[in-house]
Structure 1
Amino acid sequence: MFDFRLRVFYTVAKRLNFTKAAEALYITQPAVTKHIKEIENYFKVKLFDRNGTKIKLTPAGETLLHYAEQLFAIYQNLEFDLDAFTQRKSGTLRIGASTTAAQYLLPPILAAFHHKFETVKVQLVTGNTELIETALQQKTIDLGIIEGKSRNTVFKYTPFVKDELVLVAKTGHPLAKKSVAKPEDLLKCSFLLREPGSGTLEVIAHALKQSGIKIGDLNVEMQLDSPESIKLYLLNSEALAFLSVYAIFKELKNNECTIIDVKGLTIERQFNFIQAQGDTETLPDFFIKFAINYNFK
């Protein structure tokens, strides 16, 4: 259904590399070049600037990429909605989600899913990554959503959405007065952390280690089992915490808290769907496809 020439442009624009785009599309590099030239000739614009082996989008290329992303999102939603007519769904779907996903990502998706598929009953349970993995192994849930990937080969992973953990303090915190904090500044502050077994805690510990800080070196004021508890505590204390950007949209807008940049420290993670290997249930796959196509605003 997609216009292949536009798909070629989109792939090159995302990778900024003709060779990698050709490999991804299973066509030759001259074929990629030919498709790009045909688009440029049709619109009478230049889409890429070339500097030796490096390329970058021109302003016209940026505009085309913007519209291509919108078109492909429409195509995805169109295919999903039409497929739904031939796949009447009913039954119960048991989802287990790590705390951040359950509190900030899933609610609008579940509401939209229920609006379209009222015959599917969804049950949602919340827990840290360790608990979700255990529940999936014990078959008390059909589908899990966790941060990152464990080393457990009994699970199949499907990427969901990317997230960033940022250092947060209430507005007016002394450390926030610095334009950029140094990693060693963190050792002078009190921290709120998630409980043992939390995927978030594991991601934070790994990132801090890259900056030469062990999680045990931090002055831990308290460990709490949800980002919402941590956030509310933080707003009433001088403690700092690493929180998902999804968790603090409202507080940032209301100027209740602030993000502190730390030199050389970026904490990114991937939320993944997890299923038991060999699972043949169709409802989990159906929901995964719906959630991936959901338009986060």
Structure 2
Amino acid sequence: MLDFRLYVFYTVAKKLSFTKAAAELHITQPAVTRHIHELEQQFGVALFERAGKQIRLTPAGKIALDHAEIIHANYRQLEFDLNSLKGQHSGVLRLGASSTVAQYVLPPVLARFHDKHADITISLVSGNTEQIEQALLNRDIDLGIVEGRTHLHELRYTPFVPDEIVLVARTEHPLAQRDEVSVEELKAYHFLLRERGSGTLEVIEHALRQVGVKLVDLPIEMYLGSTESIKSYLFHSNCLAFISIYAIESELKAGSFRVIDIQGLDISRPFYTILRQGDAEPLSETFLRFARRHYNHG
């Protein structure tokens, strides 16, 4: 365990809340305040300042957090290496995944991984690609899996598994009985799209541009914040939507949705794993090796 006062500081700095830190650490708020005060006395600087009802890091606090991040990562590396000597894999792995990956791609492999490595505690948060990238930059997660095309230079992107985005409609839709439609025909129908910041929307927009279509050329009925909300809306409308093939497997089997091919348009992409440049994350690598075997062998 890290020096407990430093760990208290680290938790408060990440939460920017004494109350939330106390709840996570299972200690009282006065105890949190005392530990922070002792640390400030030790270094002779203030680490936090009040901003109304909120707190924020002072310049000294930001420097302290940078070092606490490194110390925390080194401790987790130490814990992993010593456990490996004993033939054990244990620790905490914090995953973040964009919505499609978190909901449809990861659950099966997470279940199998837990069966094999029950001593590794995994947490999974989801959001759009931008949010997951930011969480990784903030060191709130150890490993991200996303679906966007834009790559930040601070992060290392590696293809994970392939995906295909397809045009989908409910079976009662006028186009549902067609084997194929032209790009121009799309402009006559209303669409549901994911919100800005979504990796899926970014990929769709890029693919459409390659065939001479801009999003503004399409009648957009609504932007929605999740694939599930788009699927639910589709059931009750004559809209069209571009959705990952992973997300509609059960609907295709049930016959409630149809995939409509578009002439000259193929929207294929990889999902990417992302790590911070230069970081060694042994638990992340252990998980990724397992996950790739899962998807390569079924």
TM-score by length of 2: 0.69
Give 2:194's aligned residue: 194
Query: What is the alpha-carbon distance in structure 1 between the residues aligned to residue 282 and residue 178 of structure 2?
Result: 52
With 92-101 and 152-161 compared, the bigger mean Cα shift is at 152-161
Match of 2:263 in 1: 263
1:215-234 superposed matches below 5 A: 215-234=215-234
Offset, 1:87: 4.6
In structure 2, give the amino acid aligned to 1:197: G
1:282 partner letter = P
Q: Which residue of 2 aligns with 1:208?
A: 208
> Are 1:289 and 2:289 counterparts?
yes
Query: Which residue identity does 2:266 align to in structure 1?
Result: T
Residue 165 of structure 2 is matched in structure 1 by: 165
Cα distance in structure 2, aligned partners of 1:180 and 1:273: 33
Matches within 5 A, 1:34-49: none
Residue 229 of structure 1: CA displacement?
Answer: 1.1
Mapped partners of 1:180, 1:280: distance in 2: 47
Deviation at 1:243, TM superposition (A): 0.5
CA distance in structure 1 between the partners assigned to 2:121 and 2:128 by the alignment: 23
Residues 86 and 164 (structure 1 numbering): CA distance in 2 closer, same or farther, change over 3 Å? farther
Task: Tell me: CA distance 1:87–1:184, structure 2 relative to 1, closer, same or farther (3 Å).
Answer: farther
Q: CA deviation at 1:209?
A: 0.8
Which SS does the other structure have where 2:175 is aligned? helix
Could you tell me which residue of structure 2 aligns to residue 176 of structure 1? Answer: 176
Shift of 1:151: 2.9
Deviation at 1:226, TM superposition (A): 1.1
Equivalent in the alignment of 1:100: 100
1:104 is displaced (CA, Å) by 0.5
Which AA in structure 2 matches 1:94? R
Aligned to 2:147: 147
1:215-254 correspondence to structure 2 within 5 Å: 215-254=215-254
CA distance in 2, matches of 1:179, 1:145: 33
Distance of 2:158 and 2:205 partners within structure 1 = 24
Alignment partners' CA distance in 2, 1:294 and 1:237: 37
Distance 1:148 1:198 in 2: 7
Question: What is the Cα deviation at residue 158 of structure 1?
Answer: 2.1
- 1:175 is paired with a residue whose SS is coil
Percent identical residues: 52
Provide structure 1 residue ranges, at least 5 long, that are not aligned to the other structure.
1-83
Is 2:99–2:226's contact at 8 Å kept on the other side of the alignment? yes
The 2-side partners of 1:170 and 1:139 are apart by 41
CA distance in 1, matches of 2:86, 2:184: 58
Q: Indicate how the Cα distance of structure 1 residues 265 and 85 shifts in structure 2: closer, same or farther if over 3 A, else same.
A: farther
| Structure 2 portions without partners, runs of 5+ | 1-83
Distance 1:288 1:150 in 2: 22
C-alpha distance in 1, partners of 2:146/2:248?
Answer: 19
Whether the aligned pair in 1 keeps the contact of 2:136 and 2:144 (CA below 8 Å) is yes
**8 Å CA contact 2:90, 2:120 repeated in 1:** yes
Taking the aligned partners of 2:250 and 2:189, their CA distance within structure 1 comes to 25
**Whole-Å separation in 2 of the counterparts to 1:123 and 1:103:** 14
Moved more, 111-120 or 142-151: 142-151
Asked if structure 2 preserves the Cα contact closer than 8 Å seen for 1:192 and 1:239, the reply is yes
**Conservation of the 8 A alpha-carbon contact between 2:96 and 2:141:** yes
Task: Tell me the equivalent position of 1:49.
Answer: none
CA distance in 2: counterparts of 1:262 and 1:85, whole angstroms: 54
CA contact (8 A) 1:149 1:157 kept: no
Residue in 2 that maps onto 1:72: none
Cα RMSD for the two superposed structures: 1.5
8 Å Cα contact 1:149-1:272 kept in structure 2: no
